Amino acid sequence: MSVFAPYKDRHRGESVLILGSGPSIFGLSPEHSFPGYTVIGTNEAVYLPFNTDYYFIGDAGTPSRGYLSDPQTYIDYTPRRTKFFRIKTHHPVAKYTPMPGNIPGVTYYPVDKFLCGKKRTLVPGRIITGDLTAGVSDAGSISFEALQFALWCGFSDVVLAGMDCDYSSGSFRSAVTPQVQRWGQEILRRWAVVARDVSEVYPGACVQIWNPVAMHCFKELTAAPTLPG
């Protein structure tokens, strides 16, 4: 059975907040509740003062950034429901560092499609397909994978936070190289593809972004969400 099969429509009609690693994430307050929302964390969310329900990471990073810089913190991190690690794709141009296997308490998920190559691979291809039975589409950002999962789960109200798509200041924990800053422009273009896909594949879903910084392909949520500590 598919890793994601048990989650199909599990949260139909519910609301979800997906946390990225952009510096704007510090605008969220742990002092109040964000009632009724499930929370999905990604990457450096292990350092945020919020409880998450689901967690996704797919790239082990480097000795100065991400999992490889502080393995025990990532190993010990425990969301309330499921902790997902991506299985390394065998695509010949996939150059990220894979997460370690066989860590207790982790659910490993496969990649169905690898879309990190030349730009033409995304036109008219989809990132959001509506079918996770064979895995998610890897399109260069873990946030895309978390969003695919959220929509598969049936969440109809999705709020994105910390998805700055402006790498000039790095993430909220680490600096980013000029090469990654340039990659950020490509990620922005892919978010536009994702926005198109969501409107066509999940027309009943409302995706909004809080404090969009450089990413403006979704409606802006004007009220600042807050989270329980």
Q: E-strand spans in 140-229? A: 157-161, 206-210, 219-221
Q: Where are the domains of the chain?
A: 5-221
Structure tokens at 31: 């002092």
Enter the pTM of the model: 0.89
pLDDT at position 69 over 80? yes
Angle at 140 between CA 210 and CA 76, to 5 degrees: 75
3-class DSSP state for residue 41?
strand
- CATH number for region 5-221: 3.90.1480
For residue range 78-136, list pLDDT tens digits in order: 999 999 999 876 554 556 788 998 899 999 998 877 665 444 444 457 889 899 998 89
Q: At 224, is the pLDDT very low, low, confident or very high (cuts 50, 70, 90)?
A: low
pLDDT score of 120: 41
